[in-house]
């Protein structure tokens, strides 16, 4: 934590929430000349922002709800983001198998319109409708890197081998993968490098609104220390807690709220050998993805279920696990079972409450509300990871009414830490790291480039042998890497590193995970007295 807890200094902007929206806004704001502080009550990306389906995508299914503006913005944004973070994001092709006899119980605006005009279409997404959707998907956004839609003969294409032979045809289109939790950390790191104060494990316990500024009461959850910060403007980017922060911590009355929707995922051993993702349509009208994951696994998700409140920890229930297993097994030639599941995770999406009839139909649009009746307050409702940078720009447009001398938009095309290389040069960078550190295993070399990009050399430093990297914790984790993430990425516990900065917890035993946690805590505690 920077500086002493001085109470006389007034910061321009105080951001509540260390998820992707809070960190994205903090980065954008400090780059425009504002002084910024951010507080996160746990770890960066602790909640929703580390529990996504890990995709930069336009949202093909949102076209069925006529959310054309949202889809267009997201489609255009994909390539902007790819160029800024080519180490943690990359293009991916998506295979959508089609079977003419499959029926769907879909209640989207599109399906209602179709069945009104053509009653015999009830329960079907015909091939021409899928083609139309994919044509719009290709056309709404600018594409310079990503290839367009193609039709596949599954009898001849390798993508057909893992599937049930009844699927003869598929459509293939482009979207992108992203390491979601690393995206948050890199935004926070860039914000800090530009002068922002980033405080993790720091809870906002209340805030008092004075005539021209806010007094924010805080508690350092690591030490128990309480202190204050003062700010001319407050940004509430509390994610699932945004409404609670607004009413309970800030004492504000508002009708604005979020609809909490739980998305659950399962991870199973690798189901196919190619690098493409599957897009499956369910008979209930929903969709799921089956995605290559961490080289040796397949990620399957997600569900959409209303979640009761942010204080109830989201978990992938047995019913959700069974749902995802049965859903995927309709498509794969070899069905999967719950016994195949090696890990599950769930996140709560704080969607803007637009009164939709179902969790699936709730809008993915973000809503920003500005209360400038006294010391200004900006509340962030909803949003999706693909449009986090555009959300930040929209937030800064509103913040600019309070601070009219802001610099212009700047984040498009500006690389995040480690991302200062060209899209498509990952293999070249990986080969260079292998040449410079020949004692690394091929897996370790690939992993370090994907995690840190050009900063992999900073992580490894002057090491000339594996012994120079210190203790080996398994799965290519070394003391030197842990030390670097403690110093530079706010790692404070084993779970921060094993399940958010990386997903290496999948590859370790319980004893190995405990050893990583013990090492991190010992390093933070310092030498024994």
Helix 68-84 vs helix 388-399: crossing angle, to nearest 10:
100
Classify residue 416: in a domain, yes or no: no
Whether 168 and 189 share a structural domain: no
Give 328 or 527, the one with higher predicted confidence: 328
| pLDDT, averaged across the chain | 91
Whether 100 and 225 share a structural domain: no
* Contact residues for 293 (Cβ-Cβ < 8 A; gap 6+): 267, 299
Whether 434 and 521 share a structural domain: yes
Q: What is the mean predicted confidence (pLDDT) over 422-436? A: 97
Whether 267 and 344 share a structural domain: yes
Last residue of a domain, one of 148, 178, 208: 178
Classify residue 60: in a domain, yes or no: no
> Quick one: which of 76, 66, 74 has its CA closest to 356?
66
Whether 136 and 253 share a structural domain: no
Q: For residue 155, what is the domain's CATH number?
A: 3.30.9.10
Q: What is the per-residue pLDDT for 355?
A: 62
* Contact residues for 432 (Cβ-Cβ < 8 A; gap 6+): none
Could you give the C-alpha distances from 209 to 228, 230, 233, 243, 251, in angstroms and in order? Answer: 13, 10, 10, 17, 9
Whether 461 and 481 share a structural domain: yes
pLDDT in tens, 114-130: 444 434 334 456 777 78
Classify residue 115: in a domain, yes or no: yes
Classify residue 62: in a domain, yes or no: no
Classify residue 294: in a domain, yes or no: yes
Classify residue 417: in a domain, yes or no: no
Q: What is the per-residue pLDDT for 102?
A: 63
Whether 341 and 223 share a structural domain: no
Lowest-confidence range among 42-46, 89-93, 151-155, 282-286?
282-286
pLDDT in tens, 61-71: 667 766 778 78
* Number of folded domains that form the chain: 4
Q: For residue 229, what is the domain's CATH number?
A: 3.50.50.60
Whether 212 and 346 share a structural domain: no
The SS3 of residue 114 is helix
Whether 471 and 503 share a structural domain: yes
- Residue 357 pLDDT > 50: no
What is the domain extent for residue 468?
Answer: 426-525
Whether 369 and 245 share a structural domain: yes
The SS3 of residue 466 is helix
Classify residue 5: in a domain, yes or no: no
Banded model confidence at residue 1, pLDDT cuts 50, 70, 90: very low
Cβ pair 338, 258 in contact under 8 A? no
Across 431-478, the runs of DSSP E, i.e. the strands, are 472-474, 477-478
Last residue of a domain, one of 287, 320, 352: 352
The half-sphere exposure of 455 on its side-chain side, counting CA atoms within 13 A, is 19
């Amino acid at each position: 934590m920077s500086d002493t807890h001085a109470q006389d200094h007034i910061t321009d902007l105080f951001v509540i929430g260390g998820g992707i929206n809070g960190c994205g806004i903090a980065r954008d704001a400090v780059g425009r000349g504002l002084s910024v502080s951010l507080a996160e009550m746990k770890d960066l990306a602790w909640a929703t922002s580390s529990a996504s389906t890990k995709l930069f995508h336009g949202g093909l299914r949102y076209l069925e709800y006529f959310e054309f503006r949202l889809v267009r913005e997201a489609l255009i944004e994909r390539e902007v983001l790819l160029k800024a973070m080519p180490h943690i994001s990359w293009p991916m092709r998506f295979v959508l198998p089609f079977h003419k006899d499959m029926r769907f119980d879909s209640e989207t605006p599109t399906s209602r319109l179709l069945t009104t005009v053509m009653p015999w279409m009830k329960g079907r997404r015909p091939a021409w409708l899928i083609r139309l959707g994919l044509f719009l998907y290709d056309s709404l956004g600018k594409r310079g890197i990503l290839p367009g839609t193609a039709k596949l003969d599954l009898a001849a294409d390798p993508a057909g081998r893992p599937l049930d032979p009844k699927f003869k045809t598929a459509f293939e289109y482009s979207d992108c993968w992203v390491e979601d939790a690393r995206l948050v950390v890199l935004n926070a790191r860039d914000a800090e490098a530009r002068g922002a104060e980033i405080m993790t494990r720091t809870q906002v316990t209340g805030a008092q609104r004075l005539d021209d500024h806010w007094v924010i009461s805080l508690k350092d959850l690591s030490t128990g220390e309480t202190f204050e910060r003062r700010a001319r403007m407050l940004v509430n980017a509390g994610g699932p807690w945004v409404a609670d922060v607004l009413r309970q911590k800030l004492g504000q009355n508002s009708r604005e709220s979020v609809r909490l929707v739980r998305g659950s995922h399962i991870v199973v051993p690798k189901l196919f050998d190619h690098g493409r993702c599957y897009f499956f349509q369910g008979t209930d009208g929903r969709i799921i993805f089956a995605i290559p994951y961490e080289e040796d696994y397949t990620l399957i998700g997600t569900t959409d279920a209303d979640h009761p409140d942010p204080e109830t920890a989201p978990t992938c229930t047995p019913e959700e696990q069974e749902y995802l297993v049965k859903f995927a097994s309709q498509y794969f030639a070899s069905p999967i079972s719950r016994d195949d599941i090696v890990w599950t995770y769930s996140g709560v999406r704080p969607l803007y409450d637009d009164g939709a009839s179902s969790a699936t139909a709730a809008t993915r649009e973000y809503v920003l509300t500005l209360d400038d009746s006294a010391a200004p307050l900006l509340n962030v409702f909803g949003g999706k990871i693909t449009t986090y940078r555009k959300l930040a720009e929209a937030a800064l447009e509103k913040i600019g009414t309070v601070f009219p001398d802001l610099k212009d938009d700047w984040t498009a095309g500006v690389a995040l830490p480690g991302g200062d290389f060209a899209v498509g040069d990952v293999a070249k960078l990986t080969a260079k790291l292998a040449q410079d550190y020949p004692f690394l295993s091929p897996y370790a070399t690939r992993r370090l480039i994907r995690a840190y990009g050009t900063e992999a050399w900073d992580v490894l430093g002057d090491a000339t042998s594996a012994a120079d990297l210190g203790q080996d914790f398994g799965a290519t984790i070394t003391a030197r890497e842990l030390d670097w993430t403690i110093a530079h990425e706010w790692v404070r516990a084993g779970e921060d590193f094993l399940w958010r900065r990386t997903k290496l917890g999948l590859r370790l035993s319980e004893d190995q995970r405990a050893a990583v946690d013990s090492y991190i805590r010992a390093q933070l505690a310092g030498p024994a007295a």
